[in-house]
């Protein structure tokens, strides 16, 4: 299963206007954004919290990825069929000293609005969703210690890939966590997590709105594994070559939904409901001059 990328919800049209660009929003000291000819897997490096906080670079990054990350949209809110998803850019920006992660994403929003004239609004749509409840066999998540420290949110391109265990799943060093992929298996280890954080991550990985119906108010430590579904549908020939064919000795294990049930003691119940979706009103394929 590939990670989706991974919500701030505006409920009125007035809020939609504010979401496009806040007054005097922070911006990069210097930034270059131009159309990319790359159709390979994209790569980004640098930025706050990384080894190179003062410089941020991306090669062949899809506009969809920048939008989702900058505005914190959930994957289910932004249609993969949107024409903007196919547009890729090369980005290089100088990040002011002391910039935090939230400020950084505000700068990316400014970049999208100023250089690409990006505009959007929300519409409500009936969609497939999940209700998250406590499973019939009871909760299996561990209560966090009172002094537990939350797992820090990392930049998605800076998550270090841990060593791989015998079962093909990543192994984090003691006391460390995150959500990462091995060759065959995904692992999510977290500490002092609220249900809101758990629901957000599940929605991120499932690509579907998840509603917390557990009634749980505590903080929890989790360590769960699930195996990837080998799927090369819709990939370009170059991407298929990078991913490769499904190996004959592919390890098999639980899907994410089964892992949630068996390892966390939670149940995902499929249903339909209303959710906010993002409608792109405008963007320029050719950015204004840098």
User: Which residues of the chain are modeled with pLDDT < 70?
Assistant: 1-24, 79-83, 151-162, 228-252, 290
Which burial class, exposed, middle or buried, applies to 157 when counting CB atoms under 10 A from its CB (0-12, 13-18, 19+)? middle
Q: pTM higher than 0.85 for the full model?
A: no
Query: What 3-state class would DSSP assign to 105?
Result: helix
Write down how long the chain is.
Answer: 290
Helix axis angle for 101-116 and 63-71, nearest 10°, is 130
**How far is the C-alpha of 223 from the C-alpha of 86, rounded, in Å?**
35
The alpha helices in 120-273, defined as continuous H runs, are 195-206, 237-243, 256-259
Cα 165 to chain centroid, rounded: 25
For 31-46, write each residue's pLDDT tens digit.
999 999 877 778 889 9
pLDDT at residue number 3: 37
């Amino acid at each position: 299963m590939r990670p989706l990328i991974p919500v701030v919800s505006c409920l009125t049209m007035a809020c939609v206007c504010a979401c496009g660009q806040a007054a005097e929003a922070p911006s990069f000291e210097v930034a270059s954004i131009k159309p990319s000819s790359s159709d390979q897997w994209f790569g980004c490096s640098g930025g706050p919290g990384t080894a190179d906080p003062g410089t941020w670079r991306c090669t062949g990054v899809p506009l969809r990825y920048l939008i989702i990350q900058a505005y914190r949209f959930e994957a289910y809110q932004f249609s993969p069929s949107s024409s903007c998803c196919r547009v890729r850019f090369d980005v290089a920006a100088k990040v002011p000293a002391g910039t935090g992660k939230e400020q950084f994403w505000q700068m990316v929003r400014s970049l999208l609005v100023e250089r690409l004239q990006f505009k959007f609004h929300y519409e409500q749509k009936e969609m497939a969703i999940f209700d998250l409840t406590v499973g019939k066999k009871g909760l299996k998540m561990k209560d966090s210690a009172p002094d537990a420290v939350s797992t820090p949110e990392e930049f998605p391109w800076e998550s270090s890939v841990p060593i791989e265990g015998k079962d093909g799943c990543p192994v984090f060093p003691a006391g460390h966590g995150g959500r990462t992929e091995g060759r065959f298996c995904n692992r999510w280890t977290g500490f002092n997590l609220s249900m809101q954080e758990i629901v957000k991550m599940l929605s991120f990985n499932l690509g579907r709105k998840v509603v917390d119906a557990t009634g749980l108010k505590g903080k929890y430590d989790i360590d769960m594994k699930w195996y990837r579904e080998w799927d090369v549908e819709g990939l370009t020939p170059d991407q298929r070559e990078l991913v490769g064919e499904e190996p004959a000795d592919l390890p098999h294990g639980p899907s994410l939904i089964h892992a949630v049930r068996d390892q966390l003691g939670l149940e995902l119940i499929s249903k339909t409901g209303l959710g906010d979706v993002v409608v792109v009103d405008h963007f320029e394929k050719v950015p204004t001059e840098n």
